[in-house]
Amino acid sequence: MFNSNTNTISNNTADYPFAFNLLITDGSSFNTVSNNVFGTADFAGIVVADPLPGTFTLNLYGPAHHNVIQGNVDHSDGPTGTERHNGTTPAFSGGVVILNGTYNNVIKNNQLYASGGGDLVWAQAVPDPNSPNGVSSYPPLIQCNVTVSEGGGGIANHNGNVWSGNTVKTIGSCITQQ
């Protein structure tokens, strides 16, 4: 969803759509993603993201905010060997990824297992002009490096993003334990 607001995505199954199962980006807000089953995405299952800080796209569309990710099952497989070798895997890979300055999102009661990256990730993409995708590549995994807040009470408040009641194996060290 790009610059998309007040939508509901529920009761779907998505299996191996390549890089991501679902992207909520570029000013998308007040959307609900619930009771879906996602699997085998290479980079991330569900991503809520703003464009990189200071970009034309962020100025045009604004941040993504006030989205609810609830009651989903996501079992993302992680990048293939080829993707790791050629540097196309972003360093923020995982199950549910909250990226850049996006704020006031609720991630609750999901069942997550990502075999590449973390199950819950809060990160900021790091620009890398030498990377095929323009950002730092995996490995290593980059988490908890957020320095930008578009709202939600600032970085010390996790930009207002809330993670609760999720069943996970690995989460970013800056995310409250489930």
pTM listed for this prediction? 0.91
What number of other Cβ atoms are within 10 A of residue 6's Cβ? 10
Task: Decide: helix, strand or coil at residue 106.
Answer: strand
Tens digit of each residue's pLDDT (9 = 90 or more) over 71-83: 999 988 777 777 8
Q: What confidence score (pLDDT) does residue 54 get?
A: 83
Tens digit of each residue's pLDDT (9 = 90 or more) over 82-92: 787 788 888 88
Share the mean pLDDT of the chain: 90
| Helices (H) then strands (E): counts for the chain | 2, 13
Q: What confidence score (pLDDT) does residue 17 get?
A: 62
Helices (H), 14-166: 56-61, 81-85
Tens digit of each residue's pLDDT (9 = 90 or more) over 106-158: 999 999 998 878 899 999 999 999 988 889 988 888 899 999 999 999 999 99
Q: How confident is the model at residue 30 (pLDDT cuts 50, 70, 90)?
A: very high
Per-residue CA distances from 100 to 2, 39, 62, 104, 141 (Å) = 15, 24, 12, 13, 15
